Amino acid sequence: MTEILFYQLKGQRLEQVLPALLLRSLERGWRVVVQAASEERIEALDAHLWTWRDDAFLPHGTWREPDAAEQPVLLTPNGHNPNRAAVRFLVEGTELPDDAATYQRLVLVFDGDDPDALANARERWVKVKKDGFEVTYWQADENGRWQQQA
């Protein structure tokens, strides 16, 4: 069954937390697709992931590349899954995919400081629980470690 994880950012930016979450997914042997709301946001994430840390490499590519299907982490503004990812990250309020049940894990990352994003996450929580998905809610503690809240 697909797990759906809600990650609430409080006083954090997506660029601060996404790379570590992606690395953990890769360490587990999962292919990942990250869906954002716009091509511009994908380009910004792509540039950030190349430079986020001097001592780490996060292999990734975008949907535009000819070898997109081979990328362990694929960034896209679209709902497709060309790299056969087991995990899909949804950022900036992107919609749940129609094929949600085909993933091992869906990760919804939202800005807890934005009232609209928070309301959207609450609506999604209610919907996916009603649809029978296994759902958890995560928030970072004062040391930046993710703690399950529900």
Return the CATH number at 52: 3.40.50.10110
Whether the model clears a pTM of 0.75, i.e. scores above it, the answer is: yes
Sheet holding 146-148, edge to edge: 61-62, 73-76, 32-35, 87-91, 105-111, 3-9, 134-140, 146-148
Which long-range CB contacts under 8 A does 111-119 form with residues at least 24 apart?
111/9, 111/14, 112/8, 112/9, 112/10, 112/139, 113/9, 113/10, 113/11, 117/93, 118/8
Q: How many domains does the chain have?
A: 1
List per-residue pLDDT tens for the chain, 150 residues long. Answer: 899 999 999 989 999 999 999 999 999 999 999 999 999 999 999 999 998 888 888 999 999 999 999 999 999 999 999 999 999 999 999 999 999 999 999 999 999 999 999 999 999 999 999 999 999 999 988 888 899 998
State which residues form the domain around 30: 3-148
